[in-house]
Structure 1
Amino acid sequence: MQISRAIHKPLAAVAVAALLAGASALAGAVPAQAAAPAGAAAPIKAAAPAKAVGHDATVNFAGTVALDDCSGSVVRLPNSQSTDPALVLTNGHCLETGMPGPGEVIVNQPSSRSFTLLDASGNGIGTLTASKVVYSTMTNTDVTLYQLPNSYADIQQQYGISPLTISPDHPVAGSSIEVVSGYWQATYSCSIDGFVHQLREGDWTWQDSVRYTSTCNTIGGTSGSPVIDTSTGLLVAVNNTGNENGETCTVDNPCEVDQNGNVTVHQGTNYAEETYLLDSCFDPGNQLDLNLPGCTLPQPQ
């Protein structure tokens, strides 16, 4: 998992800052995305919002956030209204109280987690503070959604920032994507290589994960980054892990398991968890309802 416990100043200058040697992607047993290899350089900060040639949507840092050790983004569902309480998306393994165990689902838990909001160029322009954890799990997927006391209109009025919109549709193989890290103020460009029936890492198993092509070489601190389809500008997944050392199904070294139970390992390959499932689990007003028809997110036991 791509969490970073080595660096606690995500908005410091990141020209070519080096990660601390021996940094681990996970703290203790925390599945986050694999940390950068010892001595690896941090990604170079994007100089300005850019539009890739041949792509339809401009992807920049506006609406992304930096957490302590992780990345995230202010998000809306397709039918969210400007007056709804805003949501912040990151990974389940980025939860401040520790990683949810296998089978554990957390809903409506009070939280005062703070987030540094970024503008289009990656500059920190303010601090947002959560009121609660709406939903968090590492079962089948790897996601945490926070609710803010601020509405989307409040954030727009104060900071001039609009949320990213979560796609209601399953992502498509071959699509060009950008992984946008608020922690590093860096972007990674690649395509969706395909989908993994089961992705296993340590004690956790995720379903129908996104596999990147090789150029999305994400590192520690990119956990929770939004994955944007550059043809639509919609958020289609949340970055979460990568196989760092070529080990099989261990923490920081997820393995792929197909429908027949065959296990394969792809060292250096990185992954994300799809987010379209979230759309079927919310009532108007951004109210979570896991009993809605079509909602397949895991429920609390």
Structure 2
Amino acid sequence: MPSRRTTSRLAAVAVLGAAGAIAPLSSSQAAEPSAPTSAQPQTVQRLQAAGLASTIKLDNCSGSLVRYPTSTDTDKAMLLTNGHCYEGGFLSAGEVLVNKASSRSGQLLDDAGSSIGTVQATKVLYATMIGNDVALYELTDTYADIASSTGAKALTISDSKPADQSAISIPSSYWGKTYSCSINGFVGELREGDWTWHDSIRYAFPNPDCETIHGTSGSPIVDNTSLEVVGINNTGNDDGQQCTVNNPCEVNEDGTTTATQGQNYGQQTYWFTTCLTDNAIDLSKDGCLLTKPATATKPHGPKKPH
């Protein structure tokens, strides 16, 4: 079993740099490029399956280069990581960021985990730690620009919920390692400290190949069959405690809680595709699952790092 960092999973993220944090991994995809037309830009070609290719190493977490199923090569590329990996520190339990300026950068990796270039963000398109734990950034370059300069092609965010018991991979750019897992159901309410997440992905446990550690936060969860991103790795229970930071608990319908030491979790990402209008996030769209700023719960304030 890989040793866990002593730094708090969530608290580590507030201390930017290699001293802590967690990050999930990413995989790849396969698809056919569509022929360009005068009215429709060429659809970005999906990446073939490959280890750490198109993951992005951040200073405190893992991340990945991603696209929507409908993204085109002329669209600005995007970086996906956890909300708790936001460079400004933890988001409070009621905070939602939309189109916030950012100058964050990261190292784009190849299949072997070597850097093939630096990517630069211009803004946070969306970030939250309530309901979900995600941060999606817009980069300076288009998918075509990145493919031309590095050969890298983005991972595709699936537009549907992953299937229970499906095999998944979690490539961590932070550690340069890919974890092999399977899904063991979904948690209606997962609570950790001041934060609550919904319909979370539970990993099969015990599984020595899926013991994600601090530093794997933000890694993409890739379905081994579709090779699409179905989620994002974000937390696990370190000490067997219930509902404390680094010790998430499952909240049952009757309000009782359960916690299993060593159990790890991720959050779903198809939610993004329920909120798209012309490849842009539209929180007012009917059926949009992402937490809206107006409906977010009143913040209680984030836990402070030790």
TM-score by length of 1: 0.83
Asked whether the equivalents of residues 13 and 89 of structure 2 are also in contact (C-alpha less than 8 Å), the reply is no
The change in CA–CA distance for 1:271 and 1:129 in structure 2 (over 3 A counts) is same
Asked whether the equivalents of residues 177 and 229 of structure 1 are also in contact (C-alpha less than 8 Å), the reply is yes
Counterpart AA for 2:269: T
Counterpart AA for 2:145: D
SS at match of 1:156: helix
- Residue of structure 1 in register with 2:7 after alignment: 23
SS at match of 1:131: strand
- Residue of structure 1 in register with 2:140 after alignment: 149
SS at match of 1:231: coil
Task: Indicate whether 1:300 and 2:284 are aligned.
Answer: no
Correspondent of 1:71 among 45, 58, 62 = 62
Task: Indicate whether 1:200 and 2:191 are aligned.
Answer: yes
SS at match of 2:147: helix
- Residue of structure 1 in register with 2:217 after alignment: 223
Within a 5 Å distance, the mapping from 1:90-109 to structure 2 comes to 90-109=81-100
Q: Supply the distance in 2 between the matched residues of 1:28 and 1:90 (Cα, whole angstroms).
A: 15
- Residue of structure 2 in register with 1:250 after alignment: 244
- Residue of structure 1 in register with 2:41 after alignment: none
Within a 5 Å distance, the mapping from 1:250-289 to structure 2 comes to 250-284=244-278, 286-289=279-282
Counterpart AA for 1:220: H
Q: Supply the distance in 2 between the matched residues of 1:19 and 1:238 (Cα, whole angstroms).
A: 19
The change in CA–CA distance for 1:68 and 1:76 in structure 2 (over 3 A counts) is same
Q: 1:283, CA displacement in angstroms?
A: 2.1
Q: 1:274, CA displacement in angstroms?
A: 0.3
Q: Supply the distance in 1 between the matched residues of 2:225 and 2:256 (Cα, whole angstroms).
A: 34
The change in CA–CA distance for 1:83 and 1:277 in structure 2 (over 3 A counts) is same
Give the gaps of 5 or more residues in structure 2.
22-27, 29-47, 295-306
- Residue of structure 2 in register with 1:211 after alignment: 202
Once the two structures are superposed, residues 239-268 of structure 1 have per-residue CA deviations (whole angstroms, 9 ceiling, x without a partner) of 000000000100000000122222111110
Task: Indicate whether 1:120 and 2:120 are aligned.
Answer: no
Asked whether the equivalents of residues 241 and 271 of structure 1 are also in contact (C-alpha less than 8 Å), the reply is yes
The change in CA–CA distance for 1:122 and 1:28 in structure 2 (over 3 A counts) is closer
Counterpart AA for 1:119: D
- Residue of structure 2 in register with 1:39 after alignment: none
Q: Supply the distance in 1 between the matched residues of 2:126 and 2:10 (Cα, whole angstroms).
A: 21
CA RMSD of aligned residues (A): 2.2
Asked whether the equivalents of residues 59 and 230 of structure 1 are also in contact (C-alpha less than 8 Å), the reply is no
The change in CA–CA distance for 1:262 and 1:29 in structure 2 (over 3 A counts) is farther
Correspondent of 1:167 among 145, 158, 169 = 158
Q: Supply the distance in 1 between the matched residues of 2:138 and 2:253 (Cα, whole angstroms).
A: 36
- Residue of structure 2 in register with 1:12 after alignment: none
Q: 1:18, CA displacement in angstroms?
A: 7.8
Q: Supply the distance in 1 between the matched residues of 2:69 and 2:89 (Cα, whole angstroms).
A: 30
Counterpart AA for 1:243: N
Give the ranges of 4+ consecutive aligned residues of structure 1 lying more than 4 Å apart after TM superposition.
17-20, 28-31
What is the aligned length? 262
Q: 1:137, CA displacement in angstroms?
A: 0.2
Q: 1:88, CA displacement in angstroms?
A: 0.5
Asked whether the equivalents of residues 109 and 117 of structure 2 are also in contact (C-alpha less than 8 Å), the reply is yes
Once the two structures are superposed, residues 108-150 of structure 1 have per-residue CA deviations (whole angstroms, 9 ceiling, x without a partner) of 1100000100011111111001000000000100000000111
Q: 1:213, CA displacement in angstroms?
A: 1.2
Calculate percent identity across the aligned residue pairs: 50
Q: Supply the distance in 2 between the matched residues of 1:70 and 1:245 (Cα, whole angstroms).
A: 21
Q: Supply the distance in 2 between the matched residues of 1:167 and 1:194 (Cα, whole angstroms).
A: 18
